[in-house]
């Protein structure tokens, strides 16, 4: 309901949820959802369209030309079972990761994601400033490489969980637009 109430940010996201067949998860299960905005979905979709066009195909005009499995897999990266507010998430410091590593959560799709709260500095004093959630895709455990997404608005509490809205200007849907394009092309595009 919250996402539907904000079509200025989540009109495409609501459509993706519908296309993925995951409405029951969002309506009935207790989840923490790191919500990508339409800006990030459109950015990845437009990248896919450029790749698809360079491969000699007509433009993809609609989200429903992409298989539901792709939407489900990508959307599952943003869902964690149970409810986690900012206060429930441990600290992360990317410059002192051994001391403040955040916490690994397993997503709805079974992927490991790191979640932590970045404690900002204020007036030269470490960790006493503003706090912001950092949600990271662990895409290569062998090199501890992370794709990061900062939360712009946290702790929105609909009836069955919590929504943390990801910052819209620097996040690709699927954490990497190339990964999204590859998955969509591998599954097949309906023409």
Digit-coded pLDDT (tens) for 57-95:
999 999 999 999 999 999 999 999 999 999 999 999 988
Q: Distance (Å, rounded) from C-alpha 134 to C-alpha 116?
A: 5
Residue 54 burial (10 A CB sphere; 0-12, 13-18, 19+): exposed
Q: Distance (Å, rounded) from C-alpha 118 to C-alpha 172?
A: 21
Which of 111, 181, 121 has the alpha carbon at shortest distance from 147?
A: 111
Please state, as a whole number, how many other Cβ atoms lie within 10 Å of the Cβ of residue 127: 13
Which of 45, 28, 72, 23 has the alpha carbon at shortest distance from 185?
A: 45
- The percent of residues in the chain predicted with pLDDT above 70, rounded, is 97
Question: CA 137, 68, 74: angle at the middle one, nearest 5?
Answer: 5
Q: pLDDT tens digit string along 147-188?
A: 899 999 999 999 999 999 999 888 999 999 999 999 999 999
Least confident segment among 12-16, 93-97, 108-112, 138-142: 138-142
Q: Distance (Å, rounded) from C-alpha 27 to C-alpha 131?
A: 29
When pLDDT is cut at 50, 70 and 90, the band that residue 146 belongs to is confident
Least confident segment among 94-98, 116-120, 178-182: 94-98
Q: Distance (Å, rounded) from C-alpha 86 to C-alpha 119?
A: 11
**Residues ≥6 apart with Cβ < 8 Å to 66:** 19, 48, 60, 184, 187, 189, 190
């Amino acid at each position: 309901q919250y996402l539907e109430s904000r079509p200025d940010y989540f009109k495409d996201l609501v459509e993706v949820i519908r296309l993925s067949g995951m409405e029951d998860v969002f309506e009935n299960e207790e989840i923490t959802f790191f919500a990508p905005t339409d800006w990030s979905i459109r950015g990845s979709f437009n990248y896919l369209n450029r790749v698809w066009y360079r491969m000699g195909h007509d433009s993809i005009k609609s989200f429903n030309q992409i298989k539901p499995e792709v939407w489900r897999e990508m959307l599952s990266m943003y869902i964690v079972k149970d409810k986690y507010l900012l206060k429930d998430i441990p600290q992360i410091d990317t410059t002192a990761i051994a001391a403040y590593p955040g916490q690994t959560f397993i997503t709805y799709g079974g992927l490991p994601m790191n979640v932590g709260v970045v404690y900002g500095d204020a007036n030269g004093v470490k960790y006493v400033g503003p706090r912001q959630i950092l949600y990271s895709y662990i895409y290569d455990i062998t090199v501890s490489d992370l794709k990061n997404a900062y939360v712009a608005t946290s702790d929105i509490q609909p009836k069955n969980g919590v929504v943390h809205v990801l910052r819209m200007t620097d996040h690709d849907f699927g954490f990497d637009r190339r990964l999204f394009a590859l998955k969509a092309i591998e599954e097949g595009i309906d023409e």
